[in-house]
Amino acid sequence: MSLDQLNLYLFHILNVPDQASIWMINYASLIAHDLVYLFLLIFAIAWFRGSYEVKTGIIKAFIFTAITLLMSEVLSAVLNTPRPFMMDVGRTLIEHAPTGSFPSNHMSIFSGIAFAYYFSPQRDLGRILIWTAWLVAWSRVYVGVHFPIDMLGAFLMAVIVNLAGLPLWWKYENQIINFILGIHYWVFSPLIRMGWIK
The full DSSP string for 30-59 is HHHHTHHHHHHHHHHHHHHHS-HHHHHHHH
Q: Does residue 1 have a pLDDT over 80?
A: no
Domain that holds residue 53: 21-193
Which burial class, exposed, middle or buried, applies to 65 when counting CB atoms under 10 A from its CB (0-12, 13-18, 19+)? buried
pTM of this prediction? 0.94
Domain count, the chain: 1
Tens of pLDDT, residue by residue over 73-90, are: 999 999 999 999 999 999
Q: What is the mean pLDDT of residues 141-152?
A: 97
User: Is 43 within a domain?
Assistant: yes
CA-CA distance, 102 to 34, in Å (whole number)?
A: 20
Is 12 part of a structural domain of the chain?
no
In a domain, 176, yes or no: yes
Are 186 and 46 within 8 A, CB to CB? no
Q: What confidence tens digit (pLDDT) does each residue in 100-125 have?
A: 999 999 999 999 999 999 999 999 99
Asked if residue 13 is part of any domain, the answer here is no
Residue 119: DSSP 8-state: T
Q: Cα–Cα distances in Å, from 196 out to 15, 45, 53, 188, 193?
A: 45, 11, 18, 10, 8
Position 101 in a domain: yes
> Percentage of residues in the chain with pLDDT exceeding 90?
94
pLDDT digits (tens, 9 = 90+) for 28-47: 999 999 999 999 999 999 99
| 122 part of a folded domain | yes
Q: φ and ψ at 190, to 5 degrees?
A: -60, -45
State how far the Cα of 106 lies from the Cα of 38, in Å rounded to an integer: 13
In a domain, 51, yes or no: yes
Question: Does the residue 74 lie in any domain?
Answer: yes
Q: Is the pLDDT of residue 190 over 80?
A: yes
Cβ burial of 37 (10 Å; 0-12, 13-18, 19+) is exposed
Q: Which residues of 112-147 are buried (b: 16+ CB within 10 A; e: fewer)?
A: bbbbbbbbbebeeebeebbebbbebbbbbbbbbbbb
Distance CA 35, CA 73 (A): 20
CA distance 54 to 123: 13
Cα 46 from chain centre: 17
